[in-house]
């Protein structure tokens, strides 16, 4: 049995990955993310989502020159070390 065959809860089955955390951005805890769909309207300030097993809220979002990437600020995330711990999470 592969990990993909294991039973999942309804909440886990309903989750859809919107992006991947690429790396910290700056020293104040911002995250650079790679969007699976650059046109998604789902990531905006005030929006809550699951980052791993934790519910977080976006407080800011900035476009980058490459439309596949954004820089997001998360409520409560205030330094680069905290942001580094989230590298490669899917949201």
Encode burial over 36-65: b for 16+ CB neighbours within 10 A, e otherwise.
Answer: eeeeeeebeeeeebbbeeeebebeeeeeee
Residue pLDDT, tens place only, 4-22: 455 556 656 667 888 999 9
The pLDDT value given to residue 13: 61
41 within 8 A of 18, measured Cβ to Cβ = no
Q: Is the pLDDT of residue 1 over 70?
A: no
Per DSSP, 12 falls in state H
| Percent of the chain with pLDDT strictly greater than 90 | 62
Confidence class for position 51, pLDDT limits 50, 70, 90? confident
pLDDT at 7: 53
**CB-based contacts of 64, cutoff 8 Å, min separation 6:** 32, 70, 71
């Amino acid at each position: 049995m592969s990990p993909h065959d294991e039973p999942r809860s309804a909440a886990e089955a309903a989750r859809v990955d919107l992006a991947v955390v690429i790396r910290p951005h700056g020293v104040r805890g911002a995250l650079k993310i790679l969007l699976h769909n650059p046109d998604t309207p789902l990531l905006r300030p005030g929006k809550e989502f699951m980052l791993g097993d934790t519910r977080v809220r976006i407080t800011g979002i900035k476009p980058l020159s490459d439309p596949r990437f954004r820089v997001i600020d998360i409520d409560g995330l205030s330094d680069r070390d905290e942001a580094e711990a989230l590298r490669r999470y899917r949201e």
